[in-house]
Amino acid sequence: MAKRQDTKKFFENLSGAGKSIGVLTSGGDAQGMNAAVRAVVRMGIYVGAKVYFVHEGYQGMVDGGDNIEEASWESVSSMLQVGGTVIGSARCKEFRSHEGRLKAAHHLVQRDITNLCVIGGDGSLTGANLFREEWSGLLEELVQQGLIDEEAAQNNSELHIVGMVGSIDNDFCGTDMTIGTDSALHRIIEVVDAIMTTAQSHQRTFVLEVMGRHCGYLALVSALACGADWVLIPEMPPEDGWEEQMCQKLSENRADKKRLNIIIVAEGAIDSHNKPITTDHIKELVVSCLGFDTRVTILGHVQRGGTPSAFDRILASRMGVEAVLALLEASASTPACVVSLCGNQAVRLPLMECVQMTQDVQKAMDEKNFEEAVRLRGRSFENNLNTYKLLSYRKADSELPNEEDELPYNSSFNVAVLNVGAPAAGMNAAVRSAVRVGITEGHKMFAVNDGFEGFYKGQIKEIKWGDVGGWTGQGGSILGTKRTLPAKHLDKIAEQIRIHNINALLVIGGFEAFLGVMELSAAREKYNEFCVPMVMVPATVSNNIPGSDLSIGADTALNAITDTCDRIKQSASGTKRRVFIIETMGGYCGYLASVGGLAAGADAVYIYEEPFDIRDLQSNVEHLTEKMKTGIQRGLVLRNENSNENFTTDFIYQLYSEEGKGVFDCRKNVLGHMQQGGAPSPFDRNFGTKIAAKAIQWISRKLKDSYKEGKVFANTEDTACLLGMRRRAMVFQPVVQLKDQTDFIHRIPKEQWWLKLRPLMKILAKYKTSYDVSDSGQLEHVTRVRPKKVD
């Protein structure tokens, strides 16, 4: 992609001088709100604006006084890792009245605040929009009542509003993820993982109620992420007779060596007659119908609590910076907007279009038009639902496809799955999903142990539906994985493909998997055995695979890094000033260090992709020393393991220790393999599940296309692909075409999207830097997905 050199605009041209920004959190709290507040305050101060906290949401705006206070750089220090909202939130009846809004306007004008950044749910954002529409009328009233003079009214004639959605339910249309959703999933999955061990011991059935009055997102994704037996959500009420179906499914699963059942219910779950379905009703059903020992757990406010996940901190930090840019660029003619993420791309959407669509969902549900409701919820929700349906339904052998019309025999193709490279959390979720979707599509699935090494040694056996039960929550690689490449063993691998009649390959792994698929496709000229569809799914903590913005396992590693950094920072509280030097994994790829640094609030991050010399180290030390002379007690410096062969972690530690003498002392930590281990995060479980399902569906299509005269033959470029996430979509890319995008010596892609997050980290750490805003969100319109045409 050609760099848009000519159109690049840097926000040095956007000045906030003379502007005042108010930031408030409103409605129900959500983890990550503090990260958003911190980003707004620091970015606002950075561009030269004044930033004010509005405490206790709209209530504070109505009450005025000490509730509206000017924020300083230091006042948001150490709030990144705190859950909830530090500036308080309240539901405010008074703001709903005209009098209330008049008071609020008066209090804002007194401080010349004409830019508001509202972090809350759709109610809070709708209120903000109404406030903006009434603004000029409110000012006229204030002038008439003699509370403000004409000049003040003139100076504050326009009110600009930018919203960020903070809601754990993820119930706001137009955004893929709202701030707090990922953290709430973390809480739910922690609970489910804990419950599973006790349920396993006693062969129990657990019914879990999760939040989501009008939106089933949390229930749906947590069901996907833990492999629940049944899920009930408001957008997809079960058909009449669901009680028998559910009980049948539970007993089938028990018969298949499974010792427990998990049923997840959204608090707003309803049946097809709009009658609520309660957890107690389900418990009674299971007990009376099956006699299983059944327990109910209602998660309640646990889901809103705890520290924000790495994802929510990054999302909120990016959104906060984007919100300030949107306020600086706003004019009287631009509509109030919300900033949000689509894929991993920042976007701005007109606030009222999103609110309207969110209300349309409720309307569709009230009218029992549930398909429409799901479609309005957006792409991400629909994908989750479709994947859940794919995996939840287990076909009896008699139902497996028998396409005699197309193929001369039962279309059972043999598909092999293997893990290659270092273990990454979420690999097992991907294998489970691939096996089950493969079986549903009518294939025979084979598992290869220990990567290509096991392949040439013949460690290959059929893997059945029940064999992968309970795999989603397991870390590492159950199949076993090795870094061995296939090139030296092509003869033996070809022989094994012949022996087991393997018709397609799914390779889940890191950089070695990418190289492996390349080597196999290059060997097609010599070996017919490799002329089968093959697809690679990226799974590595380093996130260094060309052709994909994200890989399975990276999110879990980021959470391990941020959790550890939080603990390390906390260990210094109460001591004198201290700086920590922390080394992260990633080979030559600086993803973990950079994005981990953004999530943990690092002061400096050293990576290979951005060369640094002794002068940079020197200025970083000086910068930290200056900071430490203010009220800031702790510093955090991250270094990627291969960022520089001479400036080692020890060297940097010694340099900082020497230069910081008398101001701060230093400690160093090498995080090591703890970044690779642990139970996969909800994101990795879900990403692994969805991407593997998509890969298997691609394999099915390619097998159908390449089946000629009784055998599979595929030797075109587009039958050896990598499935990656690119900006907003999942894309299949021929591995041959990714060659040019790869730096093979350092095992990294030549262009990496996350490098544009580095300036954000520097701004939030008080460095003067150049931030390219040509990539920031342009105002788009909400796209309504049209009903799919039936072919």
How far apart are the C-alpha atoms of 493 and 617, rounded to whole Å? 50
Alpha helices in 69-121 (DSSP H): 98-110
Helix (H, G, I), strand (E, B) or coil at 283: helix
How far apart are the C-alpha atoms of 392 and 395, rounded to whole Å? 10
| Three-class secondary structure assignment of 551-566 | CECHHHHHHHHHHHHH
CA distances to 91, 452, 512, 720 from 507, rounded to whole Å, are 51, 10, 10, 11
Cβ atoms of 736 and 515 within 8 Å: the answer is no
Q: Which residues pair with 265 in a beta bridge?
A: 209, 232
CA distances to 433, 514, 672, 681 from 511, rounded to whole Å, are 22, 5, 19, 21
Q: 578-584 and 665-670: which strand pairing?
A: parallel
Burial class (CB in 10 A: 0-12, 13-18, 19+), 615: exposed
Task: Compute the C-alpha angle 481/487/492, nearest 5°.
Answer: 80
Q: Residues with Cβ < 8 Å from 194, sequence gap 6 or more?
A: none
Cβ atoms of 163 and 23 within 8 Å: the answer is no
Helix (H, G, I), strand (E, B) or coil at 152: helix
How far apart are the C-alpha atoms of 524 and 514, rounded to whole Å? 16
Structure tokens at 484: 């061995």
Helix (H, G, I), strand (E, B) or coil at 169: coil
Amino acid at 45: I
The single residue listed with the structure tokens 């393991």 is 641
| Three-class secondary structure assignment of 424-449 | CCCHHHHHHHHHHHHHHCCCEEEEEC
Q: What share of the chain is helix, strand, coil (3-state, %, to 5)?
A: 45, 20, 35
Cβ atoms of 320 and 768 within 8 Å: the answer is no
Burial class (CB in 10 A: 0-12, 13-18, 19+), 320: buried
Cβ atoms of 415 and 447 within 8 Å: the answer is no
Backbone angles phi, psi at 309, to 5 degrees: -70, 165
Compute, in degrees rounded to 10, the torsion defined by CA atoms 313, 317, 320, 326.
-130
Cα separation of the two ends of the chain: 34
Q: Which residues pair with 20 in a beta bridge?
A: 50
How far apart are the C-alpha atoms of 776 and 657, rounded to whole Å? 38
Q: 707-708 and 711-712: which strand pairing?
A: antiparallel
Alpha helices in 449-510 (DSSP H): 451-457, 490-499
Identified catalytic residue from 29, 63, 122, 169: 169
H-run or E-run covering 525: none
Q: Residues with Cβ < 8 Å from 370, sequence gap 6 or more?
A: 235, 236, 237, 364
Q: Residues with Cβ < 8 Å from 172, sequence gap 6 or more?
A: 121, 122, 165, 178, 338, 354, 358
Structure tokens at 238: 């079960």
The single residue listed with the structure tokens 């020497």 is 658
- Upper half-sphere CA count for residue 503 (Cβ side, 13 Å): 24
Would you call 169 a catalytic residue per the annotation?
Answer: yes
Burial class (CB in 10 A: 0-12, 13-18, 19+), 51: buried
Q: Which residues are known to be catalytic?
A: 169
